[in-house]
Structure 1
Amino acid sequence: MVERGYSTLELLKRVKVIEPANPNKSTAIFGGKASGILNWNDLAHPHFYTLRQKIRSLFWTANEVDMTQDVKQFSTMTEREQDAFLKIIGLLATLDGPQTDVAAKLSDYTTDPSVKSLMATIADQESEHNHSYAYVLSSVTTLDKQLASFEMGRTDEVLMRRNERIVEVYNEFAESPTIESALKAMIYTTLLEGLFFYSGFAFFYNLARHQKMVGTSTMISYINRDELQHGKAISDIFRAALAENPEYNTEEFTEWIYDQFRHSVEQETIWSRYVLAGIEGIDLEEMAGYVKYRANKMLRMLGLSEIYPEFTDNPMRWIRAYVDSFDDTKTDFFEQSSRQYVKTSDLNGFDDL
């Protein structure tokens, strides 16, 4: 039985740094008891150690990527490609910036020290992702265009409309931290990590397959690899927290999740058509199918059923050379036990980045 100090209907309390009267092994992810002393050999969820090791093994920094050729190539791209490049960097920065803060806020309220450590690792990587977008822009364009790209998250109407629910859910958790709002914030974190970035990623991979902006594409592949592991970690934490709080494992909450996925697919499709129209090598119908395919994969990772049965296979086959992926094994709804995932293939060297 999970031991908590108060009702799950109450606001979560910021966890004290050290409480020696409590056990080292946490009694719950949220609302439990723990001393604050982290022993990786004595965890409530031992596979969280493996998750952290995988994420830590991906360490990299933006300035390791050689942007020399990209500096020369940016001005040779079409005006449409340059515009899409700047808009998509603006999108990615808008999404990755808050991820650092959300991970930190989840850390403030979790009573499991291993989750705190995982969130600290994720927050650090998300911060580097955000830095990488500034690094790319500073390498290829003028300061005024760099600033305009980062302003998009609060000025571009299509992008703002696309992000409305993200803003709502994240701010709800920040202002009213409960177990329910934490669970919802984690759902949106998995959506960001596994769905919202992908039309943008596809744009850069498409440039790379045409031998354009390969340095930027390499950077994106590093970020993509990180996000897949973050999505895995957050989904596992979510499922463990839900198993500890079965009162939220309801048809109503399940339908809420499905609704967020449907809405997110719709908004991602609208965004991709807005930003990728006229880009050589991108088929917008294939992209719409790819977004649904990604949604199915994320739902399977959460232990839920697919909602787009006609998109169980990747319609953008070429992108598999650039994207790490999980397997297609589905488990029972919100099963608590750890799942094992593998990369899709070793089609080329990008899988080894």
Structure 2
Amino acid sequence: MTGYQEVLTDPSYRGQIVAMTAPQIGNYGVNNLDDESAAVHVRGFVIEELSPVASSWRSRGTLDEYLKKWEVPGIQGIDTRALTKHLRSRGAMQGCLTTDNITPEEAVARAKAAPPMAGSDFVKEVTPEAPYAWDPEDRESRAWTIVKGDGAATEVTENGEVFEKLPPVKHRIVAYDFGMKRNILRRLRQEGFQVQVVPADTKAADVLAMKPEGVFLSNGPGDPAALTYVHENLRGLMGRTPIFGICLGHQMLGYAFGGKTFKLKFGHRGGNQPVQDVATGKVTITSQNHGFAVDADSLPGEVEVSHINLNDHTVEGLRHKSLPIFSVQYHPEAAPGPNDAGYFFREFAKLIETSQPGR
């Protein structure tokens, strides 16, 4: 019911048609704060019913207006539960969503002719062209809240919105942007990280020259096997700096370790994926969006599987036994939720602190 704007603007959905299973979408409209990037990345949007009313004091427009602005086709009147069951049975499929006056046979032909996800490098379409410092004025990272605390905890803007104040910077890191959501950058800053963002093809030597205290590997779209230039750069960082990877970054660490990935039948999608910590047995509900998984049998002995998916027992987390490197397959920040796994940002800070000489 919520989070459709975050889905539309999540670069991890690049190249995909997305179907929402909640029966009505668009209830609260769209606004400037909920964008997870500077553009809409989905190729098409499928829903059962578009809400005729956008009701929220935060709304700055309707979902229909938003999709038209970005020239992204949307369709309603679809039984999205039946569609989801079909995809779970048959697997993720090629699709065609068009306003052209063509026959169903021509639409099917177009779908079949579309490039497959396997082997596709969509990262090059969403990674930034040049490095940049994230939120140097500490304005974009503030957490939005409806609670007005005392002046030391929150600040109120001119339009009445309330934001939590940020903590002081504790660690300087470099973040590889493979298609990163803004909320990941916001959460990193909220946990005391100052972040320098670099494009996906940045050389390991250039990253190390920045003298970061750690390196973060972001989410992103496409097939991790196609990103051989990233695998190479990550190998150059291993053992030189602490590393924390999520989603696509997790999969590419798998390749840097010497492992491989395989394509899942229909992927892990949505905000209700149960994941178990192998060491503690603790289960968290996570937000995921990926179509590939690391092959546990391909990993070397010095790498252990730290988390597993309780639905299909695929790899959800990795940890190197001797180097300060770990990763998870899901999104710890999970805008707009759940937030069960947010503690991994604090784990990254602890890893940096314990890896520094003299600690």
- Is the shorter-chain TM-score for this pair beyond 0.5, marking a shared fold? no
**TM superposition score normalised by structure 2:** 0.28
Q: Which has the higher contact order (CA 8 A, sep 6+)?
A: 1
Higher percent of residues as helix: 1
